[in-house]
Amino acid sequence: MKIPSVDFAIIGGSGTLSSNFPKNFADVEILADNLFFDTPYGKSPAFRLCSVDGKKFLTCKMHGWRSGVTRADSSRQIFWTFREAGVKRILSEGGVGTVNHLLNPRDLMIPDDYLDLSTRKDVQLDGKYLLIMREALCSELREKLLESAEKFFTGRIFERGIYAVTDGRHFESPAEIAMLKGHADIVGQSLAPEVYLAREIGACYANLSFVVNYGEGLKIWSHEVMKNIFFDDAQLIGNILLDVIKNTDADKKFCQCLSLRKETLLKEIYE
Ligand SMILES: [Zn+2]
């Protein structure tokens, strides 16, 4: 299967999973479904090729995670495919827990930085670049996410915050949340390695996180509420992401993402 050329990609997470995204969304055309690609890291997860306002994008479910494939490999399959497709702008979404005690379930956050506590290995493609992780979350895409979120969501939207990444699949212990306090605002499992891989392929990357539970030890949370958010808010999250694509130019970039990827100085190792 030939990989199609697209400018945009959406990495679906728990926010859109229940909506069969982007089926049943206005203005979206599904051009092809169940696309699998052979990558150097194994067969890719299923992609959908879609179009909104004439702009083509690829999307996959739940960060490509599936049983029998490591999460590191899932991410590498996705980003290798994005690189072959020529993707320039990537949006991801996912549910997160709180670390900052001011946050509540159903708050939205557009993180501007991260703290990677995951121990995932092999989270690069070919290592040809020195990746500078300044403004790792694209400032321009974050601005677009904020504008779109404000159109569709009347609750609280935090336009910056630090996302701590843990391995999962389990949630964090009370002691781990206590350790993170003061260092991060939210905690989740998907931002890394996606953020590194996006920089490696020279694409802009931003994330829309929505709070689904309190961090352990902060306040008792309800699985019922988490379940309701999972099913109720999928349309909202999808609408925001699609609106960003509609309002973003793939080529005219006002951010510095691409300039933060440099040729490696360790050429003897990686050539
Ligand atoms: Zn950018």
Q: CATH number of the domain at 106, please.
A: 3.40.50.1580
Q: Please report the pLDDT score of residue 218 as a whole number.
A: 96
Q: Please report the pLDDT score of residue 44 as a whole number.
A: 97
User: Domain for residue 124, yes or no?
Assistant: yes
User: Domain for residue 245, yes or no?
Assistant: yes
**pTM metric for this prediction:** 0.96
Give the Å distance between the CA of 68 and the centre of ligand 1.
Answer: 33
User: Domain for residue 249, yes or no?
Assistant: yes
Give the Å distance between the CA of 262 and the centre of ligand 1.
Answer: 15
Domain that holds residue 55: 8-270
User: Domain for residue 149, yes or no?
Assistant: yes
Q: Please report the pLDDT score of residue 120 as a whole number.
A: 78
- The Cα 49–Cα 33 span in angstroms is 6
Q: How many domains does the chain have?
A: 1
By the 8 A CB rule, do 176 and 129 touch?
Answer: no
Please give the backbone phi and psi of residue 86, each rounded to the nearest 5 degrees, phi first: 80, 30
Give the Å distance between the CA of 140 and the centre of ligand 1.
Answer: 6
Name the amino acid, one letter, at 6: V
User: Domain for residue 3, yes or no?
Assistant: no
Give the Å distance between the CA of 30 and the centre of ligand 1.
Answer: 26
User: Domain for residue 247, yes or no?
Assistant: yes
User: Domain for residue 1, yes or no?
Assistant: no
Give the Å distance between the CA of 217 and the centre of ligand 1.
Answer: 36
Given a cut of 50, the residues of the chain with pLDDT beneath it are none
By the 8 A CB rule, do 219 and 176 touch?
Answer: no
Give the Å distance between the CA of 100 and the centre of ligand 1.
Answer: 27
Looking at every residue in the chain, the average pLDDT score rounds to 94
- List residues, by chain if needed, whose CB lies under 5 Å from ion ligand 1: 138, 204, 255, 257
Q: b/e map of 32-56 (b: 16 or more CB within 10 Å)?
A: eeebebebebeebbebbbbbbeebb
Q: Please report the pLDDT score of residue 127 as a whole number.
A: 82
Q: What is the DSSP letter of 23?
A: T
Closest CA to 93 of 253, 248, 254, 211: 211
Give the Å distance between the CA of 218 and the centre of ligand 1.
Answer: 34
- The Cα 165–Cα 92 span in angstroms is 14
User: Domain for residue 54, yes or no?
Assistant: yes
